[in-house]
Amino acid sequence: MKKIMLHLFLIVIILCFTFSSCSNSSEIQLPTKANVRITLTSPVNDKVEAKVYIEGYDGTIVNGAVVSAKDSSHTVTLLYYNTQEGCYYSLLNKPSTGTYTFTVNSILFDAPKVYTIPHTYLENTLDIKSIEMANKIGESYQNYDAFDTSYPIRITWPSTIEGCIYKITIRTPSTVLYETSTNNKTIELPANTIPANTNYVYLQIQQQKIYGDIQFQDENYYSVSVYSTGSISFNVL
């Protein structure tokens, strides 16, 4: 009888150990859900830089997923995990219709996740020759070797892309004299912003087309393209 009780006792211990081991194994499994964040940036070597970040809700970086991007011509590109970037990375061809479709396949998801991300590639969308800059009395930098900046100066420019943000910078070779951003296609420079008798003043306009949210609060993607004009050079009376 004692032997039977001893055997039963050993069996109970073995079963408890087995169930405990199984329980501990399940606790170290990867989380069943994950966050996906996508960024698109252009131009990068005349292409669009794509980055896909996959992170478990517990902060675990997921690097075993299969990630692909399809452009408007139905060309599919695989994004491989890049340890230096800390994400799935690739350079994509320019979009012809302004969207990319990303597919993320992982054991963390019940089914592949599909994301359609807009992107407008800015290229020669703002002609430097079409930029107009004239003071309040009608003097234009195109028609004068030097013009009077003691009056307010109106700067206007056309663009083939709507809904952009523009960063306007006026500087000398060593000093930034004025810098502002606007979503309009015109600004008025206050009088005397550029000191009199200043030579080699440069104007540059940077155009940005942005979709999504750079903080990933309202959207799970951030898509941006940046185009900068050359510099317009002029002198001031």
What does the pLDDT read at residue 27?
46
pLDDT band at 230 (very low <50, low <70, confident <90, very high): confident
Domains of the chain: 34-118 (2.60.40.10), 128-207+227-236 (2.60.40)
The amino acid at 105: N
Quick one: average pLDDT of 199-223? 95
Sign for the CA dihedral angle at 83, 85, 91, 97 comes to positive
Tell me the per-residue pLDDT of 105-132, one tens digit each, with 9 for 90 and over: 999 899 999 999 999 999 888 888 889 9
- The helix (H) or strand (E) run that includes residue 79 is strand 76-82
Tell me the per-residue pLDDT of 57-89, one tens digit each, with 9 for 90 and over: 888 889 999 999 999 889 999 999 999 999 999
- Sheet-wide strand order for 132-135: 132-135, 153-156, 186-189
pLDDT band at 21 (very low <50, low <70, confident <90, very high): very low
Cβ–Cβ < 8 Å for 55, 88: no
pTM of the model: 0.80
d(CA 212, CA 119): 10
Tell me the per-residue pLDDT of 137-192, one tens digit each, with 9 for 90 and over: 888 877 666 778 899 999 999 998 999 999 999 999 999 999 999 999 999 999 99
What does the pLDDT read at residue 14?
45
Quick one: average pLDDT of 17-21? 45
Task: Spell out the residues 6+ positions from residue 236 whose beta carbon is closer than 8 angstroms to its own.
Answer: 146, 147, 148, 149, 194, 195, 196, 197, 198, 199, 201
Of all residues in the chain, the percent with pLDDT exceeding 90 is: 59
